[in-house]
Amino acid sequence: MTVLPASRRRYDSFGRRAQDRATRERILAVASSLFREHGYAATSIAQVADEAGVPTPTVFAAFKSKVNLLKEAVDAALAGDTEAAAGDDELARWVREAPTAAEALRRYAEAVAEQGQRAYPIYAVAHAAADADPEIADLVADLDRQRLTGAGYIATAVAAKRGDADLSRVGYLRDTIWALNSPLLYGLLVQQRGWPVAAYRDWVATALVALAAPSVRQ
């Protein structure tokens, strides 16, 4: 029996993992495109597999279910890539490092506008499918909870910058941020009403600063 050297085994293992990641990313990109074009219900795992050039079992092995495939497509769109945690940490740091509370909110508004461009099309797919599919409804509810948690981090950072320890006001700011950072709001104003993205960004910034607290204007 031929025994491969340890270095060769590690090389082969690394190559397989890289190939698996590339295959997974290709499947996710294809699925996201099909979901946006045809909707959730009209897109099948077999169709995704065919367009991605892989066997159907490979899609199930990578994502377990069509619901998980949609969830990861939404997560990737929200994050800007498949490494959501890294993107969230970078955004939080950028906002925390703002010199004032108002600047922190303006920076956050810029991120909201940029995220809306990426996330709205696939986010809208999930919301459209939620009424007919309890699993998708659970997914949408989970996405909303995640947005609320993220809004809480931003609200806490802004409150710290203005020296406000009142939890009720922090909660109000969190809920305000949560309402204004929804990709569906981006869809209403940019997609349906035709606003330029820059106008939407400035509107979100103005609303956040105005609603946060009078002291934020300073």
Structure tokens at 102: 């108002």
Question: What is the average pLDDT across 130-155?
Answer: 93
- Per the CB < 8 A criterion, the answer to whether 113 and 203 are in contact is no
**Per-residue pLDDT tens digits for 79-103:** 765 444 334 567 778 888 899 999 9
What's the pLDDT at 9?
56
Distances (CA, A) of 149 to 158, 171, 173: 15, 11, 12
* Per-residue pLDDT, 87: 46
Predicted TM-score (pTM) of the model is 0.79
Tell me 78's DSSP state: H
Give the pLDDT of residue 44: 95
Q: What is the pLDDT of residue 151?
A: 93
